[in-house]
């Protein structure tokens, strides 16, 4: 059988997702009307014979309780549980720590998914390659521009056999534009022994920091990345994948479909657009039918109140109880729960936080990022600014005020025009 593990991380990792992560754990933030992790869960639920999903992270026990309860109703054939690391153990440390739970019922293989990616999750195709090649591991890869590649794990593969020849996590200089999507399929009998041998190797070659006297050492002896130096922290990417590439049974499935990382708060906007487009292609009945005022794809929660003369879309999600007034224009944006957009306001490339208010004739806008870009910052007049405007929870924008390329922390009132600022 097959299982799935979703790596949900923990509170400290979500800092780049501010200000949105101040009010909701990143994996539960809603894009295209559903929490980020429910999009991965939906894909996992379609894998034939897959009955068990384990969320691994270091958020509080209670964080995923309601989500798991709801997901259990939506996918009655799945057993979903959350296992909490006592501290951040790294992307492989958590797997190893909870190996007994993963190995229970003796699955032959299991998927591992980073929770912060937006993608079509072609898990069936990965499974097919896995079986065809009798693989130890299959990684999902995608092509990005040469500039973007070094921000990710890079894969050098044999184009013909699809075998992974080299794997380097965030290399200093260009080695390949085929990158790690953060989705894997591992043979249970291979991955745990690989992790164990890394642990053994470390034990026989102890690092400076593990000596009790390290407190007295000159600080220059202490590695910059102190996370990685904690003996319990094991990173799939740096510690395990490059070893796996030395075996002959590590393969890559290259997806031609969409893929995006959801790191910064602004990246929720392109993720929202991609998932809405996917739902549109699948002719999902959750989406609002097109009309003179609706440019698809648009998702409107059934409890939201949208004036029939407001023009929405493309790529707009409107959350529960949000109110959108007459003559408003909303495009490429996420309007969260209880937010209000007054009449004739304009919202473009933005996220409007929970309970925020945008005044009449106001203009809240970001800037479109170039297609294929994997970043949410742009250079404007020689300075790096956020391409997406984000209002945190319960912010207010006055009537006729213009907010452009700004990030606004919760509970702020904007009474004058602002551009390229972080409002704290
Ligand atoms: N449970 C748990 N414990 N999860 C973790 C931990 C941990 O200690 N650390 C990170 N994660 C989760 C994060 O929540 C995220 O979903 C995923 O693991 C990867 O996060 P990072 O470790 O921050 O890596 P990254 O996002 O910079 O890069 C990874 O993903 C890229 C694709 O999005 C790497 O796998 C890259 O190679 C890859 O290209």
> Mutation test of ligand 1: which of 4, 5, 6, 7 has the most ligand atoms closer than 8 Å to its C-beta?
7
Residues 255-304: tens digit of each pLDDT: 999 999 999 999 999 999 999 999 999 999 999 999 999 999 999 999 99
Supply the pLDDT for residue 208. 53
User: What was the pLDDT predicted at 371?
Assistant: 73
pLDDT of residue 14: 62
Query: What is the helix (H) or strand (E) element at residue 270, kind and residue range?
Result: helix 268-281
Q: Angle at Cα 392 formed by Cα 278 and Cα 29, nearest 5°? A: 35
Question: Which pLDDT does position 223 carry in this prediction?
Answer: 43
Query: How many C-beta neighbours within 10 Å does residue 215 have?
Result: 8
Cβ neighbours of 370 (radius 10 Å):
9
Q: In the chain, which stretches have pLDDT less than 70?
A: 13-14, 206-230
Q: Which of 80, 88, 76, 79 is nearest to 37 (CA)?
A: 80
**Ligand 1, atom 7: nearest CA belongs to which residue?**
90
Give per-residue pLDDT as tens, 367-401: 988 777 888 888 877 878 789 999 999 999 999 99
Q: What angle do CA 52, 12, 378 make, to 5 degrees?
A: 105
Question: So what's the pLDDT on residue 382?
Answer: 80
Q: pLDDT value at position 378?
A: 81
pLDDT value for 217: 43
Ligand 1 nearest-atom number relative to CA 56: 1
pLDDT at 383: 78
**pLDDT for res 215:** 45
pLDDT score recorded for residue 213: 43
ipTM, two decimals = 0.99
Find the 304 Cα to ligand 1 centroid distance in Å.
34
**What residue's CA is closest to ligand 1, atom 4?**
9
């Amino acid at each position: 059988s097959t299982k799935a593990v979703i790596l949900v991380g923990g509170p400290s990792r979500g800092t780049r997702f501010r200000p949105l992560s101040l009010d909701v754990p990143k994996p539960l933030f809603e894009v295209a009307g559903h929490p980020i992790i429910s999009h991965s869960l939906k894909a996992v639920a379609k894998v034939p014979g897959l009955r068990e999903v384990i969320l691994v992270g270091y958020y509080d026990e209670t964080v995923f309780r309601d989500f798991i309860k709801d997901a259990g109703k939506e996918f009655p054939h799945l057993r979903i549980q959350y296992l909490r690391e006592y501290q951040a153990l790294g992307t492989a440390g958590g797997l190893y720590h909870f190996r007994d739970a993963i190995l229970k019922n003796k699955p032959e293989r299991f998927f591992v998914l980073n929770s912060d990616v937006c993608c079509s999750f072609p898990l069936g195709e990965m499974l097919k390659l896995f079986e065809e090649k009798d693989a130890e591991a299959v990684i999902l890869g995608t092509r990005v521009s040469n500039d973007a590649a070094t921000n990710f794990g890079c894969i050098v593969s044999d184009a013909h056999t699809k075998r992974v020849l080299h794997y380097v996590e965030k290399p200093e200089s260009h080695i390949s534009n085929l990158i790690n999507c953060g989705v894997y399929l591992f043979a249970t009998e291979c991955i745990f022994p690989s992790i164990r041998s890394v642990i053994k190797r470390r034990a026989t070659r102890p690092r400076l920091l593990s000596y009790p006297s390290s407190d007295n050492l000159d600080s220059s002896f202490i590695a910059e990345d102190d996370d990685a130096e904690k003996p319990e922290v094991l990173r799939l990417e740096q510690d395990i994948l490059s070893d796996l590439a030395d075996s002959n049974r590590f393969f890559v499935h290259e997806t031609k479909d969409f893929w995006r990382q959801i790191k910064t708060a602004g990246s929720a906007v392109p993720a929202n657009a991609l998932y809405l487009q996917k739902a549109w292609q699948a002719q999902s009945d959750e989406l609002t039918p097109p009309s003179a005022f609706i440019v698809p794809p648009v998702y409107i929660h059934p409890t939201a109140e949208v004036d029939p003369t407001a023009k929405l879309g493309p790529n707009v999600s409107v959350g529960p109880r949000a109110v959108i007034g007459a003559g408003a224009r909303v495009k490429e944006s996420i309007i969260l729960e209880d937010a209000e957009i007054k009449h004739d306001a304009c919202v473009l490339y933005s996220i409007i936080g929970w309970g925020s208010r945008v005044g009449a004739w106001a203009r809240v806008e970001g800037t479109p990022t170039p297609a294929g870009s994997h970043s949410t910052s742009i250079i404007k007049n020689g300075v790096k600014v956020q391409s997406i405007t984000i209002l945190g929870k319960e912010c207010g924008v006055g009537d006729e005020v213009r907010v452009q390329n700004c990030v606004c922390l919760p509970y702020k009132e904007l009474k004058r025009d602002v551009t390229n600022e972080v409002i704290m």
